[in-house]
Chains A and B, each alone.
Chain A
Amino acid sequence: QKEVEQDPGPLSVPEGAIVSLNCTYSNSAFQYFMWYRQYSRKGPELLMYTYSSGNKEDGRFTAQVDKSSKYISLFIRDSQPSDSATYLCAMKADNYGQNFVFGPGTRLSVLP
């Protein structure tokens, strides 16, 4: 079993839809969770950073962490064609460690 699993997609939705992207993980020590967006042939850019369980909202984006289920989600409201990208989840166990573990990414297409 991989340490972090993510449905690779592609996921296609119409413009304006609510998108749900998910990751599951096996290591219960993970406490810090990140979502990155990566456009084709570009470097990933950080969208959300959360610690432990709960929700965090930033504009159209909401990150949820459920540590009891080892499950994290990213919701995108009112999706736009410019949201079309690959979304990577990442996580790590401690604040000082450099051991970031990434999911393989989900490719999202938002159709106009």
Chain B
Amino acid sequence: DGGITQSPKYLFRKEGQNVTLSCEQNLNHDAMYWYRQDPGQGLRLIYYSQIVNDFQKGDIAEGYSVSREKKESFPLTVTSAQKNPTAFYLCASSRREGLNWQFFGPGTRLTVL
């Protein structure tokens, strides 16, 4: 069954800690994305990657970091520099060309205590 998995589903972090959110896909997609979703706002792009070992900042990259060492994996680290990290985080993937709508994972809810 092809799809995207994110873990954990819920994550609690103390202020000052870095945390890493996992995203894995088996759809053989080249492009992967991280979005943040807050109530009443659209999805805001944090980072995206079109190919292994390459990634680009999105609209709200400050306080976040990513890596893309494997095609299937695109982990997101929320650092202590992120001022307001409590949010719902969504990972997505797509083909790089052709009809390339995004497939989304189930999301990770991060709460800072």
Contacts and interface: CB of A to CB of B under 8 A. Distances in A.
A, B: real partners: yes
Interface string B57-89: 000000000000000000000000000000010
Given A43-B106, A98-B31, A34 B101 contact: yes
Contacts, number: 54
Contacts of A43: 4, 6, 90, 92, 104-107
B42 A46 contact: no
A4 B104 contact: no
A95 B100 contact: yes
A42 B48 contact: no
B33 interface: yes
Contact of B42 (A4, A34, A42): A4
Given A43-B90, A43-B105, A49-B101, A98 B33 contact: yes
Contacts of A21: none
A63 interface: no
Contact of A98 (B40, B50, B90): B50
Interface in B15-51: 31, 33, 40-43, 45, 48, 50
Interface string A83-112: 000001010000110101111110000000
A96 B99 CA distance: 9
A42 B41 contact: no
Interface of B: 4, 6, 31, 33, 40-43, 45, 48, 50, 88, 90, 92, 94, 96-107, 109
Interface of A: 4, 6, 8, 34, 36, 41-46, 49, 88, 90, 95-96, 98, 100-105
> Top 4 nearest A-B pairs by Cβ distance?
A43-B104, A102-B42, A102-B43, A104-B42
